[in-house]
């Protein structure tokens, strides 16, 4: 292991000082530009944001792997399907409806969402299939959006829903439907309010490509990747635990919490280790031990104090 790792940011990527100083104005202008650039093609556009405080000091997974190898069953069940089959998806215009047990239910257009305080964070991502990545996401804390809608005292959970567009999402049409749509996910309100919980609008310094959940998706880095619901159209605050798609599909294999836990195996495979994508290739050992809460135990373990994590997997 090298004792010192030089900065990985090349000078051309550093935001010019005048833009950085006027970043609020720049962001507003950038948001407008993104909408124009993204409206027809759904292609990712540049999206710069200041570095946030959560930055994992590990090598980034190459962008080609982050955008070319993932699960998004709305576009097919293969790892390359999302990138291959999401070309017709239109992430703009976009509205996210926030309702349920809130004082100020409202709909947010994408342009409103991009005005939240976005920043770049580098998170570990651990898939329930025992592979992992390190990804630079751009986004804002879900808590800032929740503050805006003023949750009622009775709200205990937050539920999320993905868009249903069979005409643009081949996995939602045809003979074989791998999951019931819409894809749903949920968090306890305290999990949703946790500073690590991010609504991401970009990755690798660009707006989200379609295959990664454009235009807005959830990131909970201490949970398995399937909790990171993509292309969100609805966020509802509820009193009871909301349904989540994989839990509905196979309750003995996927729980509501889905916290990364090397001590609790998936019934069909071990969760003790993981394969880091894009590391040493074919022969280098990419296997590494999986960390409790995916390495975020210091931040989130207290959320589950006194809970049996074996029962609440």
Count interface residues toward another protein (CB under 8 A): 31
Alpha-carbon Rg of the chain, whole angstroms?
A: 19
The reply on whether position 46 binds another protein by CB under 8 A is no
Q: Which is nearer to another protein, 107 or 253 (CB)?
A: 253
SS3 state of residue 294: helix
Query: Which span sits near another protein by CB under 8 A: 24-32, 204-212, 232-240, 271-279?
Result: 271-279
The reply on whether position 252 binds another protein by CB under 8 A is no
Q: What is the DSSP letter of 284?
A: S
Q: Which of 238, 241, 275, 312 binds another protein (CB under 8 A)?
A: 275
Best CA proximity match to 71, nearest among 86, 60, 93: 86
Q: Which of 39, 88, 144, 270 binds another protein (CB under 8 A)?
A: 270
CA angle 121, 124, 130 (to 5 degrees): 160
CA distances for 245 relative to 54, 102, 149, 183, 267, angstroms = 28, 24, 25, 6, 18
The reply on whether position 103 binds another protein by CB under 8 A is no
| Token pair belonging to 282 | 């074919």
The reply on whether position 69 binds another protein by CB under 8 A is yes
Estimate the share of the chain in helix, then strand, then coil, as percent rounded to the nearest 5: 25, 25, 50
- 137-166 binders of another protein (CB under 8 A): none
The reply on whether position 131 binds another protein by CB under 8 A is yes
CA distances for 18 relative to 14, 23, 25, angstroms = 12, 8, 11
Helical spans, DSSP H, in the chain: 17-21, 23-41, 63-68, 81-85, 110-113, 142-149, 189-193, 245-249, 297-300
Which single residue is written with the structure tokens 């998806």? 89
Query: Which span sits near another protein by CB under 8 A: 17-25, 68-76, 155-163, 300-308?
Result: 68-76
Q: Which of 33, 68, 109, 292 binds another protein (CB under 8 A)?
A: 68
The reply on whether position 310 binds another protein by CB under 8 A is no
- 167-226 binders of another protein (CB under 8 A): 175-176, 178-179
Query: Which span sits near another protein by CB under 8 A: 33-41, 76-84, 101-109, 153-161?
Result: 76-84
The reply on whether position 288 binds another protein by CB under 8 A is no
The reply on whether position 268 binds another protein by CB under 8 A is yes
Q: Which of 39, 77, 88, 106 binds another protein (CB under 8 A)?
A: 77
**Minimal distance, residue 151 CB to another protein, in Å:** 33
Query: Which span sits near another protein by CB under 8 A: 39-47, 103-111, 234-242, 276-284?
Result: 276-284
Taking every pair of C-alpha atoms in the chain, what is the biggest distance, in angstroms? Answer: 56
Query: Which span sits near another protein by CB under 8 A: 7-15, 73-81, 98-106, 114-122?
Result: 73-81
Q: Which is nearer to another protein, 4 or 175 (CB)?
A: 175
The pairing of beta strand 95-100 with beta strand 232-238:
parallel
Q: How far apart are CA 100 and CA 149, in angstroms?
A: 10
The reply on whether position 291 binds another protein by CB under 8 A is no
Backbone angles phi, psi at 200, to 5 degrees: -95, 135
Contact positions vs another protein (CB under 8 A) = 64-65, 68-69, 73, 77, 79-80, 129, 131, 175-176, 178-179, 249-250, 265, 268-270, 272-273, 275, 277-278, 281-283, 285-287
């Amino acid at each position: 292991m090298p004792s010192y790792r030089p900065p990985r940011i090349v000078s051309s990527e550093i935001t010019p000082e005048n833009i950085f100083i006027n970043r609020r104005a720049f962001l507003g202008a950038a948001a407008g530009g993104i909408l124009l650039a993204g409206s027809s093609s759904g292609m990712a556009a540049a999206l710069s944001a200041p570095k946030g405080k959560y930055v994992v000091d590990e090598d980034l997974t190459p962008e080609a792997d982050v955008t070319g190898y993932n699960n998004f069953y709305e576009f097919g069940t293969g790892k390359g399907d999302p990138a291959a089959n999401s070309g017709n998806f239109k992430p703009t215009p976009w509205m996210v409806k926030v309702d349920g047990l809130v004082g100020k239910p409202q709909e947010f257009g994408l342009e409103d969402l991009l005005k939240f305080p976005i920043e770049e964070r580098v998170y570990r991502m651990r898939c329930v299939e025992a592979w992992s990545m390190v990804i630079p996401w751009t986004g804002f804390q879900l808590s800032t959006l929740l503050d805006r809608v003023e949750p009622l005292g009775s709200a205990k959970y937050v539920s999320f829903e993905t868009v249903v567009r069979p005409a643009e999402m081949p996995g939602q049409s045809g003979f074989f439907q791998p999951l019931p749509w819409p894809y749903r996910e949920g968090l306890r309100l305290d999990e949703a309010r946790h500073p690590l919980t991010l609504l991401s609008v970009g990755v690798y310094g660009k707006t989200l490509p379609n295959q990664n959940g454009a235009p807005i998706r959830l990131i909970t880095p201490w949970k398995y990747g399937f909790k990171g619901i993509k292309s969100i159209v609805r966020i509802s605050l509820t009193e009871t635990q909301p349904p989540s798609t994989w839990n509905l599909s196979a309750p003995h294999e996927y729980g509501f919490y889905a916290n990364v836990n090397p001590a609790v195996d998936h019934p069909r495979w071990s969760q003790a280790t993981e394969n880091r994508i894009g590391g040493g290739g074919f022969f280098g050992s990419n296997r590494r031990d999986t960390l409790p809460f995916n390495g975020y135990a210091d931040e989130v373990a207290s959320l589950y104090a006194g809970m049996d994590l074996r029962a609440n997997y």
